[in-house]
Structure 1
Amino acid sequence: MNLPTPSSWLIAAVTLLPLVAQAATVQVTVLGRDGKPLPDAVVVIEPTTGARPAAPAPVSAVINQQKMQFVPGTSVLPVGSKVTFTNLDTREHHVRGMPAGLASLNAGTQPGFELRLSGKVEGQAPASAETTLTQAGAMQLGCHLHGSMRGFIFVTDSPWTLVTDANGVATLQGVPEGAAKVRVVHADQLLEGAPTTINITPVTALSLPTQVQPRRRRP
């Protein structure tokens, strides 16, 4: 049997190096319809070459109902994650989770959930309830009892998903170099815009305008 020589191993390794995608840093600035930075926008990067990346592992998360708001207002959670809703207000609240945007018109065939939480009583633990997010996509949170209460969950199967900060910026690490699509999803859009095609280099920065006009939030 003829064994490969060390030199042949080296040649093979050098030949394969260009096929290995290098990790890059991608900074995305999202702008609203008025041209100003758009906070709480969900940025999703989806490489279009190579094998599909493994989905992120499920986590456990808590979303509070406090001062007539969902806190945090926008969450990104992997498929399979468990979410505990806790009512910190003295008023009774309801939790309704359903597909966001135009998908809500066909909500009968989409996964959703409804919970009811009693108001907090002094000296007692606040009421809470748990649900598991089984399908990727955007979900709108609401309360049947208080129409002004709105929240948003983006259930993701991509490891490169992040919410923009107060400056409208999302910085994603470890993204493979090469061709990719960038999606932007926001709680206040009815229809998701077309993805943007980019070529990711070791350090990539881009600015993405949208037609999103954020609603005014309760103080």
Structure 2
Amino acid sequence: MSKLAQHLALPALLAFCAAAQAGNLVVSVLDKDGKPVQDAVVVVTPASKGATPRNPLPMQATINQEKMQFIPAVTVVPVGAKLSFINNDPWDHHVRSSPAGMGQFSATNAGFELRLEGKPEGKPGKASEVTLDKAGVLGATLLGCFIHGSMRGYIYASESPWAAKTGSEGIATFEDLPEGAAQVKVWQADQLIDIAPQQVTVGAVLAKNVMQLTVVPRRRRS
């Protein structure tokens, strides 16, 4: 083989080797009664460091306040991401953050606070931005509104690039994970005490894992 042919073949060979060392993982999250859980956050931390997902977590995300709700209800981003908050209701809202889970009952960190004016009729809502680059942003953050106490939303800032929300079937799928050992943990808003992480082995055969909560999550308002 000529040097030119070897040079052209090298990228394909490297890509083949990378694919051969990658595996897929499907994680199913169930509630206490064995029913699928939507909007649970699944975080996978491979023992092999350095690999990154084909589709990384977004460094920017938008959270709307609309019809007295945070939309989406759960936002998953990496640490350092920039969040844009937009009020699409005609009345004013606040955005206040505090630790989620048991930490919300003993929080000493004030987090961040914003006040968003109501959306003028016929005009777009105004946006305010926050960057998750301060200490204490790792993991889950509870969002609320001082004016409307029933409003709840969540941000999950993941240190691992392998993180995803479960869909309506309670499933999160991860592709091209590094082969070998990995840790899987699950966060869900109504699970105040985290369930124990699980160890999995990722290989050529599709790996499947089931994580079951000890609670039945509250039904979300449609």
Calculate the TM-score normalised by the size of structure 1.
Answer: 0.84
| Structure 1 gap ranges (5+) | 1-16
Q: Deviations over 1:142-201 (max 9, x none)?
A: 111111111111101211100000000000111111111100001112121110111122
Q: Give the letter for the 2:105 counterpart.
A: L
Task: Check 1:174–1:54 CA distance in 2 against 1; reply closer, same or farther (3 A cut).
Answer: closer
For the residue of structure 2 that corresponds to 1:116, the secondary structure is: strand
In structure 2, the residue matched to 1:114 is: 113
Q: Which moved more, 1:77-86 or 1:202-211?
A: 202-211
List aligned pairs for 1:160-199, cutoff 5 A: 160-199=162-201
Rate the CA distance shift 1:34–1:173 in 2: closer, same or farther, 3 A.
same
In structure 2, relative to structure 1, the CA distance for the partners of 1:21 and 1:196 (3 Å cut) is farther
Match of 1:92 in 2: 92
Q: Any unmatched runs of 5+ in structure 2? A: 1-16
Q: Deviations over 1:52-98 (max 9, x none)?
A: 55696761111000111111111110111110100001121111111
- Contact 1:58–1:79 (CA under 8 A) maintained in structure 2: no
Partners of 1:182 and 1:195 within 8 A in 2: yes
**C-alpha displacement of 1:108:** 1.7
Sequence identity, in percent? Answer: 47
After superposing on structure 2, the runs of 4+ consecutive aligned residues of structure 1 that deviate more than 4 Å are 52-58
Residue matched to 1:25: 24
Give the Å deviation of 1:106.
Answer: 3.9
Q: When the two structures are superposed, what TM-score results if normalisation uses the length of structure 2?
A: 0.83
| Residues 88-120 of structure 1: CA deviation (Å, up to 9, x unaligned) | 0112111111111112234324x7211111111
SS at match of 2:102: helix
CA distance in 1, matches of 2:183, 2:195: 12
Q: 1:76/1:176 Cα in 2 relative to 1: closer, same or farther (>3 Å)?
A: same
Partners of 1:160 and 1:106 in 2: CA distance: 29
The partner residue of 2:49 within 45, 48, 51 is 51
| Equivalent pair of 1:186/1:212 in contact (CA under 8 Å) | no
1:127 Cα shift? Answer: 2.4
Higher alpha-carbon Rg: 1
The answer to which of 180-189 and 207-216 deviates more is: 207-216
Give me the whole-angstrom Cα distance separating, in 2, the residues matched to 1:138 and 1:127: 25
Q: 142, 154, 172: which is aligned to 1:152?
A: 154
Residue 210 (str. 1) matches residue 209 (str. 2) = no
Give the equivalent residue in structure 2 for 1:126: 125
Q: Which AA in structure 1 matches 2:149?
A: G
* Structure 1 Cα separation of the partners of residues 160 and 66 of structure 2: 30
One-letter code of the match for 1:103?
G
Q: Number of residue pairs matched? A: 199
Query: Aligned partners of 1:21, 1:45: CA distance in 2, in Å?
Result: 20
Q: Would you say the 8 A contact 2:57–2:76 is kept in 1?
A: no
Q: Give 1:7's aligned residue.
A: none
Cα distance, 1:34 vs structure 2: 1.4
